[in-house]
Amino acid sequence: MEHTSSQVSDSSAEARKRPRWGGILVWAGVLGLLAILALGLRRAQQGPITVGDKVPNFSLTTFEGETINLTDLKGKVVVLNFWASWCKPCEQEAADLEAAWRYYQPGGEVIFLGVDYVDTEPEARAYLEKFGITYPNGPDLGTRISQQFRIQGVPETYIIDKNNVLRSVQIGPYRGYEHIRSTIDPLLGE
Amino acid sequence: MKRLFYSIPIMMTAALMAFRLGQAQSTLPQPPTDDQVNAIAKELYCPVCENIPLDVCGTQACAQWRELIREKLSQGWNEAQIKQYFVDQYGDRVLATPPARGLNWLVYIIPPVAILAGVYILYRAFQSWKQPAPEALPQETQPSYSDEYVMRLEEELRKR
Amino acid sequence: MVANLGYGALFITFLVSLYGVGAAVYGVRKNAPAWVDSARNAMLLTFPLLTLAAFSLIYLLVNGHYEVEFVASVTSDSMPTYLKVTALWGGQAGSLVFWVWLMSAFASAVTLRKWERDREFLPWVIVVSLATLAFFLVMIIFFENPFARIWSVPLGNPVVAMFPPAGAQLLTQADGRGLNPLLRHPGMIIHPPMLYLGFVSFVIPYAFAIAALVTGRTDDRWIRITRRWTLIAWLFLSLGLILGGRWAYDVLGWGGYWGWDPVEIAAFMPWLTGTAFLHSVMIQEKRGMLKHWNMVLIILTYDLVIFGTFLTRSGVLSSVHAFAQSAIGPLFFVFIGLTFITSISLLLYRWNDLKAEAHMTSLFSREALFLLNNLLFIAILVVCFWGVIFPLISELATGQKVTVGPPFYERATAPLFAGLLLLMGIAPLAAWRHSTFQTLGKAAWKPSLISFVTPVYALAAGVREFPALLGFWLVSFVVFVTLSEYWRGALARHKKSNESLPVALWRLIGRNRRRYGGYVIHLGVVLMAIGIIGIELFQTETQGTLAQGEQMSLGKYSISFDSLAVFDTKDGRNVARAVVSVYKDGRYVGELHPRRDFYYESQQPMTIPGVRSTMEDDFYVLLVDWQPVSTAGATFKIYHNPLVNWLWLGGLVFILGTLIAAWPDKDPESVAVQARPSGYAPARA
C-alpha cells in the first residue's frame, strides 16, 4: 500500500527536501534546551552551597546603616544566620544564638551576622528587640545573599572559617546553646 | 548610604504632607482601605509563596508585606514608589513580570520573533504549494447553493 | 510481608519489561514472529503484575501500615477509607506506581487489538511502551520506593530502607502524618488521575508514530489506528485541566480558576500540541499532506508530557504544585534526553520518505485554515514554554530569580485565543481543497452580520470594554456557524430521505461522529469563553472588616456578618466558620458559610469560600481573618465573578462532545472498509 502511495506522489508533488539549516536549528534548539535543563537540575540538586568551598564576597547593610563585607572579616570565624520575624522555628534558636554571641564577643575571633530574609522592617526590629539580639543584623536586600547561598528556608546558618571557606551548614534551628558551641569551637584554633 | 535611602522618601513625604495640610486643613488623612492595599498587593509576588499573588497568599510573611503596603500608603506613597521600594528590598522577582531591561528583554522579544518566524515559514510553505494542479481547480459551475452544500457534505462525510 | 510482595511484583515487572524489549528487537532482527509474540505476552503480563503491586500498596494504605514510610507520610488514622485509597497518588512514590499501572493498562489494551494488517508495527509499539515502563520502574524501584520501611538501628537515627540493615528492628509508628489537606478535596481526588491518564495514554499514539518511522511505513495507517486513542488521551487531559481549574476555584481561595503557575502550564502545553495534532491529522487523512508536521506534533506532545512531568517532579521549578526535591531528577533527565534525541533522529532520518501526496491549492481552503489554527496553537505553546523556561535561564545567567506571572501570559495569549475563536467560526464554512475568497466570503458574511446582535445588546446594557465586545461577537459567530452546520445537514437529510428532523439530526451525527462531536466541542469552548470573558474582564472585589450585624456591599450585592463559630472536628481540623447573609438589590437571597480550616497534623490552613452561584454570576465570599472574640469582627474578601458558571457548563459540553467523537464504532475496522465504495482509495484519490 505504501509503495503505491509513493509512486502516485512522485508525479504530483516533488519531495520537499529537508533544508540543512532546519536540521541544524532543530538540534541546536534541543541540545540548548537539554543544556539549560541540565544546569537547572544541577542547581536544584546542589541545594545549599557546598561545605569546603570558598564563599564569594557579599555585603550586608545592617539596620543601623553600617555596611559589612565578608572580605573585611578575613581572619574571623563568621556565623551567618538567616532568619525572619514571621518564622516560628527561628524563635527557638534566637536566644541561644545571642548567648553564644555574648560568649564569643570578648575574644574577638568570631563574628555573628543575622540576615533578615523577606521580612518587613518594623516587625524585624521588634523581633530583634524581643530577643535582645545585639550582633549585627540587616535586611537581605534584593534577596541577593539568600540566593547566593541558595537557602531553602529559614532558619539556616552557615559557618565560614577564617579563610572565608564554608565549614558548616545548619538547616533548621540549632538544638541548643551547646550545639552552637560545639559547631564553632573546632574552628577557633585553626 | 542606606540611611539616606530610607530618609529621603520620608522627608519628602513629610514635606508633602505638611504642604497638603497647609492647603486643605479640613480633610483628615483617610487610613488606606483594604481594597487600596490589595490593588497594589495583587501585582506583587512574595518569594515565600512563589507564583501566588501577594493579595491572596496566606502566609505570615505575606500578611506582613500587606501591612507594610498599608503603612506606606498611609505615609502618602504612591503605587510606583511602593513597588520600587519592594524591588529594592527584595529584588526583581517581586514583580509580576520581569522589568524590561538587560537579559529580561528576551522575555518580550523571543515569543513575537518566534511567532513571526512561524508565520514566515507557513507563508513560504503556501507559496511553494500554490502551484495549482489542473484537476484541483474548482468547477466553475454554479449549482443551487443547497445542492452544492449537500454535495460537499456528502464528500466530507464519506471520507472518514 | 505485603510490602515485600508489592516490591517483588515491581521488580519482576521490571525484568519482564526488559525481556519484552529484547525479545521484540530480536524478533524483528531475526524475522522470528515467535519472539515478537513472546514480547507481546511480556507486555500483557506487566498489567497483572503491576495490579498486584498497586493493590499491595493500597492494602498497606488502607490498613494503616505505618512502618512503611510512604504510608506514614500520606495517611493517618483519622482519614476516611476512600481518602486512604486515593492517598495512592498523594505523594511522589505512590503516584509513580499509579502511573505505571495506568500505563501498563493502556499499553496492554492496545496490544490486545487485532494486528493482522499491521504486524510490522507490533514489535516497535511494544518496544516503546515497555522501554518507557521500564524507565519508570527503575525510578520506583531504586529511587522512590513506596514499599520502603522504617527501621530502628541500634546506633543513630532510624533508617528508611526496603530491607533491614544489620541488627535493625521494624519501627512501627502509632499514626501517620496524614494527607496534605489541599489534596482532600473531591476535585483533587479525580484531577491527578485524569491528568495521569491523559499523560500515559499519549504514549500510545507516540509509540505508533515511532513504529511508523522505524518501519518506514509512512502512510496514514498509524494515525487511523491511534485516532481514538489520541482522542481519549486528549479527553482525559482536558478533564484533568478543567477539574484542576474547578479545584483551584473551590479550594485555593483566590477567586480564580487558573493562575498560570508553571506546573499548570506544564500540563497545558501537551494539551495545546495535542489539540493542534487532532486538527492537523484530518488534513493528512483527507489530503495526504502534512505528514512531517503530524509526526512533529505527536513527538512534541509526548515530549512535552515527559518534560512536564520532569519539571513537576525534579525540583527544577519551585511551585505550589511541585513535588519536593527528589533524587529522580538526573535519571529523568537522561530519559528526556534519550526520548528527545531518538525521536528527532528518527524523524530526520525518515524525512524524505514522508512526502506529501497533494498540494495546498488555496489559502482559503479548510486545510489552509487548519494550518493557521496549528500556527496559533504553536504560538500559544511558544509563549507558555518561554514563560516557564525563562526564569530558569535568568537564574542561571544572572543568579537572580525573576517572576513571569499571569500578566505576561494573559497579554501574549489573549489575541491568539481570539484568533482561534475566529478560525473556529470560519473553518466550518470553508471547503476542503477549493475554497476561494469569494466562496468563503459568500458563506461568512451573513453569520458575521447576524453575530453583531450580541455586542450591540451588550453595548446597550452598558458594556464599553472593546475586548469584551469583540469576544461576544466571536462567541456568537462561532455558535451561529456551528449550529447552522447541524441545521443545514439535518435539513438536507430530511428533504432527501423523508426522515423527521430529529431523526435526521441523530443519523447525521452518527455518520460522522468525529465531525459533529468536534462541533459540540467547539460549542463547549465558546461557552467556556463566555465564562472566561466574564471573570477576566468583569471581576470585581472588595475587602473589609465587619462587626457583627454590620454590612458591606459590592455592586448589586451586599453581605452582613451574622455570626462566627470556631470549633474542632473529629478529623483533626480546627474550623472557623462564619455565617453571612447575602442581599441582592437589597433583597435577602440566602446565607453563605465561608470558612477557614486549620489542619493540626500538617499545620496548614485552608480557605474555603462560600459561593452563591447562578448562570448570571458567582458571589464568592472568603473569610480572611477574625478577632478571637468573634463578635468583635471578621474580615471578609468578596468577589463578584460574572458569567463564570458558563465556564463549567462549557466544560461539561466540551467533555460530552469529546465522548461523542471518541465513542467506539461497532467494529471500527470493518466500518471503515465498508464505508468506501469499491475501487475508491481514501485520502490519496
Residue pointed to by grid coordinates 475587602: C543
Candidates C120, C326, C333: best to mutate against A (most CBs of A within 10 A) is C333
pLDDT in tens, C670-685: 334 333 333 333 333 2
DSSP assigned state of C68: B
pLDDT in tens, A51-105: 888 888 899 999 998 999 998 888 889 999 999 988 888 888 999 999 999 999 9
Confidence of residue B80 (pLDDT cuts 50, 70, 90): very high
Say how far apart CA A83 and CA A149 lie, in whole Å: 13
Confidence of residue A19 (pLDDT cuts 50, 70, 90): low
Residue pointed to by grid coordinates 564569643: A104
With contacts defined as CB-CB under 8 Å, which chain B residues touch C594? none
Whether A2 sits inside 8 A of C393 (CB atoms) is no
Whether B51 sits inside 8 A of C405 (CB atoms) is yes
Query: How many C-beta neighbours within 10 Å does residue C259 have?
Result: 23
ipTM, two decimals: 0.81
What is the nearest CA distance from C219 to chain B, expressed in angstroms? 15
Among chain A residues, the shortest Cα distance to B84 is held by: A142
* A54 reaches C (C-beta below 8 A): no
Q: What share of chain A in percent tops pLDDT 70?
A: 87
Residues 68-87 of C with CB under 8 A from B: none
Cell numbers linked to C102: 495506568
* C285 reaches A (C-beta below 8 A): no
* A30 reaches C (C-beta below 8 A): yes
Pairing of strands A110-116, A137-139: parallel
Looking at the partner chain, which of B64, B89, B133 has a beta carbon nearest the beta carbon of A139?
A: B89
What is the nearest CA distance from C357 to chain A, expressed in angstroms? 5
* A102 reaches C (C-beta below 8 A): no
pLDDT at C154: 79
Most confident of A9-18, B126-135, C549-558: C549-558
With contacts defined as CB-CB under 8 Å, which chain C residues touch B62? none
What is the nearest CA distance from B60 to chain A, expressed in angstroms? 6
Whether B91 sits inside 8 A of A119 (CB atoms) is no
Q: Which chains touch C (3 or more CB pairs under 8 A)?
A: A, B
Which candidate, C21, C197, C211, C170, places its Cα nearest to that of C104? Answer: C197
DSSP string across chain A: -HHHHHHHHHHH----PPPHHHHHHHHHHHHHHHHHHHHHHHHHHH-SPPTTSBPPP-EEE-TTS-EEEGGGGTTSEEEEEEE-TT-HHHHHHHHHHHHHHHHHGGGTSEEEEEEE-S--HHHHHHHHHHTT--S-EEE-GGGHHHHHHT--SSSEEEEE-TTSBEEEEEES--S-HHHHHHHHHHHHT-
Among chain B residues, the shortest Cα distance to A118 is held by: B90
Pairing of strands C617-626, C540-546: unpaired
Among chain A residues, the shortest Cα distance to B48 is held by: A118
Candidates A5, A43, A143: best to mutate against C (most CBs of C within 10 A) is A5
What is the nearest CA distance from B114 to chain A, expressed in angstroms? 12
pLDDT in tens, C449-479: 999 999 999 999 888 889 999 999 999 999 9
Indicate the SS3 state at residue C680.
coil
Looking at the partner chain, which of C362, C393, C407 has a beta carbon nearest the beta carbon of B96?
A: C407
The answer to whether B53 touches B41, Cβ cutoff 8 Å, is yes
Q: Is the pLDDT of residue B134 over 70?
A: no
Q: Is the pLDDT of residue A1 over 50?
A: no
| In A135-176, alpha helices (H) | 144-149
DSSP assigned state of C165: P
Indicate the SS3 state at residue C171.
coil
Among chain A residues, the shortest Cα distance to B132 is held by: A12
Which residues of chain A have a Cβ shorter than 8 Å from any chain B Cβ?
A: 12, 16, 61, 65, 67, 84-86, 118-123, 139-144, 147
CA angle C601, C607, C612 (to 5 degrees): 140
User: Which positions of chain C have pLDDT values less than 50?
Assistant: 319-324, 667-685
Q: What integer is the mean pLDDT of B121-131?
A: 76
Among chain A residues, the shortest Cα distance to B64 is held by: A120
Candidates C215, C359, C673, C684: best to mutate against A (most CBs of A within 10 A) is C684
pLDDT at A46: 66
Residue C72, amino acid = A
Farthest CA pair distance, chain B: 87
Candidates C360, C409, C602, C608: best to mutate against B (most CBs of B within 10 A) is C360
Confidence of residue A116 (pLDDT cuts 50, 70, 90): very high
Which candidate, C9, C34, C41, C35, places its Cα nearest to that of C22? Answer: C35
Say how far apart CA A63 and CA B88 lie, in whole Å: 15
With contacts defined as CB-CB under 8 Å, which chain B residues touch C261? 51
Cβ neighbors of B10 (< 8 A, separation 6 or more) are B75
Looking at the partner chain, which of C402, C431, C607 has a beta carbon nearest the beta carbon of B104?
A: C402
pLDDT at B147: 62
Among chain A residues, the shortest Cα distance to B88 is held by: A142
Most confident of B10-14, B45-49, B115-119, B146-150: B115-119
With contacts defined as CB-CB under 8 Å, which chain C residues touch B47? 401
Whether A41 sits inside 8 A of C336 (CB atoms) is no
With contacts defined as CB-CB under 8 Å, which chain A residues touch B130? none
Q: How many CB pairs under 8 A join A and C?
A: 89
Q: What integer is the mean pLDDT of A121-133?
A: 91
Q: What integer is the mean pLDDT of B132-157?
A: 55
Say how far apart CA C94 and CA C58 lie, in whole Å: 9
Which candidate, C138, C168, C163, places its Cα nearest to that of C149? Answer: C163
pLDDT in tens, C88-139: 988 888 989 999 999 999 999 999 887 877 888 999 999 999 999 999 999 9
Cβ neighbors of C121 (< 8 A, separation 6 or more) are C115, C208, C211, C212, C215, C217, C221, C222, C225
Whether B118 sits inside 8 A of C375 (CB atoms) is yes
With contacts defined as CB-CB under 8 Å, which chain C residues touch A15? 352, 355
Nearest 10 degrees: Cα torsion B125, B127, B129, B134: 170
Say how far apart CA C74 and CA C92 lie, in whole Å: 10
Say how far apart CA C126 and CA C415 lie, in whole Å: 42
pLDDT at C349: 87
Whether A16 sits inside 8 A of B133 (CB atoms) is no
Q: Which chains touch A (3 or more CB pairs under 8 A)?
A: B, C
Residues 376-395 of C with CB under 8 A from A: 389, 392-393, 395
The answer to whether C101 touches C48, Cβ cutoff 8 Å, is no
What is the nearest CA distance from B119 to chain A, expressed in angstroms? 16
Q: Which chains touch B (3 or more CB pairs under 8 A)?
A: A, C
Which candidate, C229, C387, C249, places its Cα nearest to that of C311? Answer: C387
With contacts defined as CB-CB under 8 Å, which chain B residues touch A84? 61
With contacts defined as CB-CB under 8 Å, which chain B residues touch A120? 64-65, 67-68
